Amino acid sequence: MPSKSTRSLALAALLLGQEVAAFSMQLPATQRRSNARAGVAMSMGGRRAFGASLAGLATVATSKAAFAAEGSRWAVSEFLDVVGKDGVERVVFSADSKNLLALDGDGARHSVEILPTEVPELIQQLRKKSVPFAVQAAPNGDGEGLAALAGNLLFPVVLLGGLFLLSRRNGGGGMGGMGGMGGPGGPMGMLQSKSKIDMEPQTGVTFEDVAGCDASKLELEEVVDFLSNPDKFTKVGAQSPRGVLLEGPPGTGKTLLARAVAGEAGVPFISCSGSEFVEMFVGVGASRIRSLFADAKKNSPCIIFIDEIDAIGRQRSSGGGMQGTNDEREQTLNQILTEMDGFSGNTGVIVLAATNRGDVLDSALLRPGRFDRRVPVDLPDKAGRVAILKVHCRDKPLSPDVDLDAIASRAIGFSGASLQNLMNEAAIVAARREKDVITFDEIDFAIDRLQVGMQKPSTQGFQNKDAARKRQELVAWHEAGHAVMAALTPGYDGVAKITIIPRTNGAGGFTLFTPSEDRLDSGMYSYKFLKSQLSVALGGRVAEELAVGKEDITTGASNDLQQVRDLSRRMIAQWGFLADESNRDNGNTIRAPVAWEAPEQQMGAPATASGATERLIDAETKKLVQQAYDHCFKTLSDNRELMEVVVDRLVESETVDAGEFQQMVIAHTSSEKYLAGAAAL
């Protein structure tokens, strides 16, 4: 049996046929429509009328073609001659008086073009000869009306037909079915949410698989506990949080925490991305938000997870100037605000959201009642990194000599995703080397690759061996200068590795330090440590001077010198230090510790220091750098023997690890020299 949509389209086609038939036969449209039935198919009278209209149109077209082919065209003088000889039987003037049609004695028709001013004279001649004449009636515009009607109805008919075919192809049913216009694949489906609801989500992730963020995990465990055991909280008057915002750097495990919540909550879970609600058409995103929350409320209690919510939750513009206030993103944000805590409320739905740009979110979105909890998910500390490494080493065979604590010490600043990638790279290297277990060498190789890039051959095929060896020796002196200066500076970061193997990031070699975990967590650096950092940074340049002299030093220390400039300038202009604190009361120096510069100076911002103060800042910066340079030069000169031992070992094996370097320092440095260096610092 035909569906309702099929009957509607058939009826529309029937009415269109009746209109065409009425126009073609010059009959009122209502008279032709009376022959149509209200059913699905056309009646016999309607089909006859439609066929008669087509036949009439064909007859008119054929007669016009035949009419144009008969007789020949006459000039006005020729027409008057024939009239004078009584050769014209009948004349018909056109309505616009610009031509006439003459019928001769043989029945042939002749067209004559005339001027409107000649009509009175021609009529006078026809009356003299008693030739009947008439004027053609003005066209009633039936043909033009039919063409206009067809043109107006063409686009709607094509559009309806296309939508009908699209709906039939998507669902095979009517327009109201799941595959119709309102279904997911139909034209109106873009207004529906693209997210699917998981009644029993099977993510394969639980809270046991999440490590390194215990405080964040505890916050979400309470949400799961509230859903599974609400009486525990309601008896003391506690309410479930409406929303939980996870914010932190990329790769710290925000999405992993959401998957763990989905795996353990035991309630329906909806996962989506903020970019799914950003479309070209205004209103589409808001409609999807309404559909999303409607599905969640039908299946409450339910959890909605919106990843990268900053795509739609950014701070709204004020509307001043050229800024618009009614775009798609802001309408979507307004709908989220209403759904989370609007007039109708939001019961039984908990919203989890993740972003690494919490500072750009709208304040209305972050207020209590919408996102009651803001859970920071920061980079893990050393203990957290060890726990994360244990999780990612469950399915990997490790050699007994692998110390996860040592790996965590080397991987400072690594996120959870970075640690997972680290162990995967180590496993790939072990497979490449055809090993059955992963040793510390593969993990060390992976750390270097992630931190400083891939290794490059020390000597290229086109290079001269002597030139390549000289370059290696110079790089070895440079790196030895950094390492020895750091080793002879009490309280400075330990040296973990020295290598002269070039890397793809452009470095000819590098010295790897192990920063203090406490210093990194607190972010507080002493004046003594900052001065030591200047001396260690200058160690490469000073070592080159000691090796080849000032005439042959290279630009290899360019990056180190930039770091020295930036650090020394910030020490004076931002952190209030002086090159010599004992001169604080001197009138020629900066007396009070003032931050004369902002950490990030905005372009076009007004100057915060006068010209005289700027000159004092420059003078103190120069003194600070000169003191660090003098101390570094003296320390490395006094320990040239240790420098030469480290250089020889680097040229021979290209890499020196922490244990071997410490033995060199102990063997070739006396306690007096060590203490003297500490006193000078």
Please give the share of the chain, as a percent, with pLDDT higher than 70: 75
| CATH code assigned at 439 | 1.10.8.60
| CATH code assigned at 637 | 1.20.58.760
Domain housing 439: 382-452
Confidence of residue 85 (pLDDT cuts 50, 70, 90): confident
pLDDT higher than threshold 70 for residue 470: yes
The residue-averaged pLDDT of 247-273 equals: 86
Closest CA to 440 of 508, 382, 484, 389: 389
pLDDT digits 0-9 by tens, 382-397: 889 999 999 999 889 9
Q: Which long-range contacts (CB under 8 A, 24 or more apart) does 402-409 make?
A: 402/438, 402/439, 402/440, 402/443, 403/440, 406/440, 407/440, 407/443, 407/447, 408/382, 408/383, 409/382, 409/496, 409/514
In this predicted structure, what is the pLDDT of residue 628? 94
Task: Answer with the one of 135, 158, 175 that is the final residue of a domain.
Answer: 135
Give the chain's domain count.
Answer: 5
pLDDT digits 0-9 by tens, 420-431: 999 999 999 999
| CATH code assigned at 310 | 3.40.50.300
The residue-averaged pLDDT of 492-497 equals: 89
Q: What are the strands, taking DSSP E only, across 435-578?
A: 494-499, 510-514
Query: Is there a domain that residue 458 lies in?
Result: no
Between CA 260 and CA 202 the distance in angstroms is 10
Neighbours of 550 (CB within 10 A): 7
Confidence of residue 398 (pLDDT cuts 50, 70, 90): very high
In this predicted structure, what is the pLDDT of residue 516? 82
Confidence of residue 605 (pLDDT cuts 50, 70, 90): low
Q: Please state, rounded to an integer, the average pLDDT across all residues of the chain.
A: 78
Residues 362 and 396 in one domain: no
Query: Is there a domain that residue 198 lies in?
Result: yes
Structure tokens at 444: 């060390």
Residues 475 and 440 in one domain: no
pLDDT higher than threshold 70 for residue 254: yes
Residues 254 and 313 in one domain: yes
Query: Is there a domain that residue 460 lies in?
Result: no
Residues 284 and 366 in one domain: yes
pLDDT digits 0-9 by tens, 224-241: 888 888 888 888 888 878
Contacts of 587 (CB under 8 A, 6+ apart): none
Least-confidence region, from 176-185, 451-460, 590-599? 176-185
In this predicted structure, what is the pLDDT of residue 673? 54
Least-confidence region, from 5-9, 40-44, 79-83, 438-442? 40-44
Between CA 620 and CA 626 the distance in angstroms is 10
pLDDT digits 0-9 by tens, 552-597: 888 888 999 999 999 999 999 888 888 877 677 666 667 677 888 8
Residues 199 and 316 in one domain: yes
Residues 574 and 642 in one domain: yes
| CATH code assigned at 116 | 3.30.720.210
Query: Is there a domain that residue 425 lies in?
Result: yes
In the residue annotation, 70 being an active-site residue is answered as no
- Please report the DSSP string for 339-381 in residue order: HHHSTT---SEEEEEEES-GGGB-HHHHSTTTS-EEEE-----
pLDDT higher than threshold 90 for residue 633: yes
- Percent of residues in the chain assigned helix, strand, coil, to nearest 5: 55, 10, 35
Residues 368 and 258 in one domain: yes
> Of 479, 545, 597, 654, which one is the catalytic site residue?
479
Task: Answer with the one of 151, 168, 185 that is the final residue of a domain.
Answer: 185
Between CA 50 and CA 22 the distance in angstroms is 9
Query: Is there a domain that residue 457 lies in?
Result: no
In this predicted structure, what is the pLDDT of residue 50? 39
Contacts of 553 (CB under 8 A, 6+ apart): 541, 544, 545
pLDDT higher than threshold 80 for residue 510: yes
Judge contact between 521 and 473, C-beta under 8 A. no
Please state, in angstroms and as integers, the Cα–Cα distance from residue 411 to each residue in 277, 378, 405, following that order. Answer: 38, 15, 10
Contacts of 291 (CB under 8 A, 6+ apart): 191, 192, 193
Please report the sign of the dihedral spanned by the C-alpha atoms of residue 247, residue 252, residue 255, residue 260.
Answer: negative
The three-class DSSP label of residue 45 is helix
Query: Is there a domain that residue 160 lies in?
Result: yes
- Please report the DSSP string for 59-123 in residue order: HHHHHHHHHHHSS--B-HHHHHHHHHTT-EEEEEE-TTSSEEEEEETTS-EEEEE--GGGHHHHH
Residues 636 and 661 in one domain: yes
Neighbours of 491 (CB within 10 A): 12
The residue-averaged pLDDT of 49-74 equals: 47
| Core vs surface per residue 395-425: b (16+ CB within 10 A) or e | eeebeeebebebbbbbbbebbbbbbbbbbeb
Residues 607 and 510 in one domain: yes
In this predicted structure, what is the pLDDT of residue 529? 93
pLDDT higher than threshold 60 for residue 121: yes
Q: Which long-range contacts (CB under 8 A, 24 or more apart) does 51-59 make?
A: 52/21, 52/25, 53/20, 53/21, 53/23, 53/24, 53/25, 54/24, 56/24, 56/25, 57/24
Residues 225 and 370 in one domain: yes
Confidence of residue 194 (pLDDT cuts 50, 70, 90): low
CA 174 to chain CA mean position, Å: 37
pLDDT digits 0-9 by tens, 310-334: 888 888 776 554 455 557 778 888 8
Between CA 241 and CA 299 the distance in angstroms is 18
Residues 578 and 663 in one domain: yes
pLDDT digits 0-9 by tens, 400-412: 989 998 898 888 8
Between CA 510 and CA 496 the distance in angstroms is 11
Query: Is there a domain that residue 233 lies in?
Result: yes
Between CA 293 and CA 297 the distance in angstroms is 6
Between CA 324 and CA 315 the distance in angstroms is 13
Residues 591 and 625 in one domain: yes
Closest CA to 243 of 122, 355, 126, 331: 355
- Greater pLDDT, 588 or 493: 493
The three-class DSSP label of residue 301 is coil
Please state, in angstroms and as integers, the Cα–Cα distance from residue 374 to each residue in 362, 463, 616, following that order. Answer: 14, 58, 45
Query: Is there a domain that residue 22 lies in?
Result: yes
